[in-house]
Amino acid sequence: MRLTRKQFVVGSAASALSVAGVYELVDRLGSSPSRVAAGSHPPEQHMLEGVRVLRDNGVEVVVPPLHHEVVTAKLRVGETPRELREARRVLEDALRKLDERFEPTPAGLGVTVAWGLPYFERYVPRQTAKHLPLDKRASAERGTPVRVLEDAIRFPSDPEKTRLEDNDVAMLLRSDSLDHVASGAKALFDDLQPLFRATSIRKGFVGGGFDGGPGLPKQMATAAGIDGADLIPHGAELFFGFTSTQKAGLGPSKIANLETLGYADLGPSAYFARGTHLHLSHIFEDLAAWYLALDFQSRLDTTFRPGLAVPEGVQTVPQGPRHAQSESDVRRDYVHYRQIGHSGSLQPASRLDRDVVADDGTRYPRGTAVPQRADFNTLDNPFFWTADEAGDAWSEVPAAGLHFVVFNPTSDDFRRGRLAMDGVMPDGTRLAFGTSSSGQGFNRLLTTTHRQNFLVPPRAHRSFPLSELAA
Footprint of other proteins (CB under 8 A): 225, 227-231, 284, 286, 288-289, 291-298, 336-339, 432-434, 436-439, 444-447
Minimum CB–partner distance for residue 141 and other proteins (Å):
26
Q: Which residues contact 154 (CB under 8 A, 6 or more apart)?
A: 160, 162, 164, 451
387 touches 199 (CB < 8 A): yes
Distances (CA, A) of 34 to 29, 106, 176, 229, 349: 16, 10, 10, 27, 34
d(CA 442, CA 240) in angstroms, rounded, equals 10
Q: Are 458 and 47 in contact (CB under 8 A)?
A: no
Minimum CB separation of residue 380 from other proteins in Å reads 15
Nearer to other proteins, 76 or 234 (CB): 234
Q: In whole angstroms, how close is the CB of 436 to other proteins at the nearest point?
A: 5
81 or 225, CB closer to other proteins? 225
- CA dist., res. 364 & res. 285, Å (int): 33
Phi, psi of 182 (to 5 degrees): -65, -40
For residue 224, the minimal CB distance to other proteins (Å) is 12
Nearer to other proteins, 70 or 287 (CB): 287
Q: How many CB atoms lie within 10 A of CB 40?
A: 9
* Least distance (Å) between residue 27 CB and other proteins: 25
For residue 295, the minimal CB distance to other proteins (Å) is 4
Nearer to other proteins, 390 or 432 (CB): 432
Measured from the CB atom, the residue of 17 and 232 that comes closer to other proteins is 232
CB 225 within 8 A of CB 198: no
CB of 403 to other proteins, least distance (A): 17
Q: Which lies closer to other proteins via its Cβ, residue 290 or residue 414?
A: 290
Q: Which is nearer to other proteins, 210 or 291 (CB)?
A: 291
Q: Measured from the CB atom, is 122 or 336 closer to other proteins?
A: 336
Kindly state the smallest distance separating residue 296's Cβ from other proteins, in Å.
6
**Smallest separation, CB 221 to other proteins (Å):** 11
**Nearest approach, Cβ of 154 to other proteins (angstroms)?**
17
Residue 11, exposed/middle/buried by CB under 10 A (0-12, 13-18, 19+)?
exposed
Q: Considering the complex, state which of residue 154 and residue 299 has its C-beta at the smaller distance from other proteins.
A: 299
Backbone CA torsion sign across 235, 236, 238, 240:
negative
**CB of 433 or CB of 454, closer to other proteins:** 433
